[in-house]
Amino acid sequence: MSVPIGIDGDRWVTRTGCRRVLAVVHTMVSGQRLLDVIDLVESDPRVQVVFTVAPDVFNHGVEDYLNGLGALVVPWAQATHERFDLALAAANDGLTEIHAPLVLMAHGAGHGKTARPLDRGGPIAGRPPVFGLEERHLVQGGRVLPSALLLAHDSEREILRRQCPAALPIAVVTGDICFDRLVRSRDERDKYRRCLRIGADQQLVVVSSTWGRDGIFGATRELLPRLLDNLPGDRFRIAALLHPAVWAHGHRQVRAWTRDCRAAGLILPEPADDWRGLIAAADQVIGDHGSVTAYAAGAGVPTMRVDAEWSQQCAPGTAQELVGRRAARLRLGDPLEPQFRDARPLDAGEVARRLTSYPGEAGERMRRHLYRLLELAQPGRHRRTEPVPVPVS
């Protein structure tokens, strides 16, 4: 690529002197998280944003996703041989190859998961560390890799103090911009329901599955057919939010596996769609240990789980762990309608307090630190948190 970056890039650009920001996108999930943050600087006429697809086991389809957004995508080989004024990432692989001050953040509901142990080797030695805050991710060659580590919650600083104290000076607690936008979207719930064609007398039940063998789609295959077979279609609509990594099985395959359910009325968004629109519209969420379940509970949506014991992947003290302990279990062998009728929200305030230390403030706090690293004055006043785009039924 010769423009707007490259050795002769300045010769061909229309706007000169821009700070160059690189969005390092590992997966569709990390890309969706980065879009919320990039939006804080992207409209500045002094800033040029380019994207690149980083190495990751789940990066298949990311370039098509970015192209669909109209993003300018730089090949990874070129991105690692250019200098940028700032780089943003929400995952870890390949970051030592980037030549820029780096801002690193989580791609889920804070750092709520423990690291997955390898499937090989001996027995597990104690509880695994909290994922994303380990020294092996944050320190390379004796130097702390990021210039800023954005955290959602004050408690994550204590985890960092235990796992990687060298990174404490660059840790910044900003809150959770993803959660802030979800809460804002819930204020416009009726708009999302109209777009999804959910009737006034219908309940929208959203099943949220993370990836992997212990997610709902992998472990509880009978759930979606049972919901569609046993809940009257005139009173219930069922939607399935599948983690984008589930679609690594192939779009055709996932759609084949869900063909009968879709024929019975299942709403199945594409992985590139913003999942928050469905949660904003939902009357009930059935979830697993994935971030979406915790976000839904924190936003006040009645939330249930299907597994008997919550996954050991949830870090102690997190929103995910709290929801796992407090959420009622959906009993598939019992009549379903009474269980939905009796469902109540968890204490949304308590869940939210574990998701973010600065509710509603993440955008403003993030923006301030981005401009500090860009060495630019912030332009004007920060706009208010925006709701997410309407979903496509």
Query: CA–CA separation, 369 vs 340, rounded Å?
Result: 44
* Per-residue pLDDT tens digits of the chain, which is 393 residues long: 888 988 888 888 898 999 999 999 999 999 999 999 999 999 999 999 999 999 999 999 999 999 999 999 999 999 999 999 999 999 999 999 999 999 999 999 999 888 776 666 666 556 678 999 999 999 999 999 999 999 999 999 999 999 999 999 999 999 999 999 999 999 999 999 999 999 999 999 999 999 999 899 999 999 999 999 999 999 999 999 999 999 999 999 999 999 999 999 999 999 999 999 999 999 999 999 999 999 999 999 999 998 755 667 788 899 999 999 999 999 999 999 999 888 888 999 999 999 999 999 999 999 999 999 999 999 987 678 999 988 654
Instruction: Tell me the torsion sign for CA atoms 6, 11, 12, 14.
Output: positive
Within 10 Å of residue 76's Cβ, how many Cβ atoms? Answer: 17
pTM summary value: 0.94
In order of start, what are the domains of the chain with their CATH numbers? Answer: 9-179+357-374 (3.40.50), 181-355 (3.40.50.2000)
Neighbouring C-alpha atoms within 13 Å toward the C-beta of 63: 10
Instruction: Tell me the torsion sign for CA atoms 39, 44, 47, 50.
Output: positive
Q: What's the Rg (C-alpha) of the chain?
A: 21
CB contact set of 76 (below 8 Å; sequence gap of 6+): 52, 53, 54, 55, 94
